[in-house]
Amino acid sequence: MTTRITFKLDALQGSRILIVDDSEDERMLLATYLQNQGCRIYLARDGLDGMHKSLMIQPDMVLMDVRMPVCDGLTACRAMHNDPRTRDIPVIFLSAAVMPGERVQGLLAGAVDYVSKPFDFEEVRLRLAVHLRERSVVELERAGSSEAAAEVSNLDSILFQSARMHLLGSLAETPDLQRLACAVGTNRRRLNAAFRNCVGTTVFEYLREERMKEARRLLASTQLEIQVIAMEVGYTSGANFATAFKDRFGISPSRFRQVRAVRRQA
């Protein structure tokens, strides 16, 4: 039996989103907006309820408040990340007061992103679209199915996968877009169009996100100096790297490490 992976150009349309929040008003506010974007919405009132519904529903994405009674978001996210049945479901945290330490704890617990309250709905839409498209790419790769890839043009899929291999093969190098396009047999405009169709971003937006993800992994799992990590992911200036990391995760690389070290010792 062939499993069909639906690779949507409009990532939100038809996506199954579980909203976990103890505030009924905020649950309904977010639910109404996302339903208007074509999402299928499920609701949970706390972390424990969210874990149970994630297991039953297997949503495409979970939007989870951090501070809740009965079971908080951090505890629920860790439990989901440690359960093979739910570990691949992306979790985006919702929080009205995201302190640096809390943000680090969330990332280490397995969350893929944060959205601050009160909601900026355009930010919610864009962050969901990026992570849902990314998950679709991973599922498509796992399926290895031409049927799965049919939702995106074959040329788009081939160009994206070929360029992605070049980019991830050496994050330390800043690619020239023209040379990258030539290497995969196309031109700059067509390559950017392929990336937009497959993951909703330009080549360099995709590369920047991959660099930040790798930087976060290296900071969390190695003792490499921050300047060395900066160079490993393509930044010649440690200051520029620190600025980019803080813009992406809301905390500096050094502070990320400090908070993580304290948490490990606790």
* pTM attached to this predicted model: 0.59
Give the strand pairing for 113-116 and 40-44: unpaired
Q: Give residue 153's pLDDT.
A: 61
Q: What is the pLDDT of residue 6?
A: 39
pLDDT greater at residue 244 or residue 2: 244
Q: Are 51 and 79 in contact, with CB atoms under 8 Å apart?
A: yes
As a whole number, mean pLDDT of residues 169-181 equals 87
Taking a C-beta distance cutoff of 8 angstroms, is the pair 93, 115 a contact?
yes
Contact 44, 73 (CB under 8 A): no
Say yes or no to pLDDT of 150 above 70. Answer: no
pLDDT by residue (tens digit) across 187-242? Answer: 999 998 888 877 778 898 889 888 988 898 898 888 899 999 999 999 989 999 99
Please state the separation of Cα 197 from the chain's center in Å: 17
> What pLDDT band is residue 139 in, cutting at 50, 70 and 90?
low
The answer, yes or no, to whether residue 96 has pLDDT greater than 60, is yes
- Say how far apart CA 51 and CA 75 lie, in whole Å: 10
CA pair distance 215, 199, nearest whole angstrom: 21
**What is d(CA 219, CA 229) in angstroms, rounded to the nearest whole number?**
8
CB 139 within 8 A of CB 5: yes
pLDDT at 146: 44
What is the average pLDDT across 159-163? 84
Q: Is the CB of residue 22 less than 8 Å from the CB of residue 139?
A: no
Give the tokens for residue 154.
Answer: 């074959």
Out of 5-14, 25-34, 172-181, which region has the weakest mean confidence (pLDDT)? 5-14
Q: How high is the pLDDT of residue 17? A: 95
In angstroms, the CA 244 to CA 235 distance is 10
pLDDT for position 246 = 86
151 vs 155: CA distance, rounded Å:
12
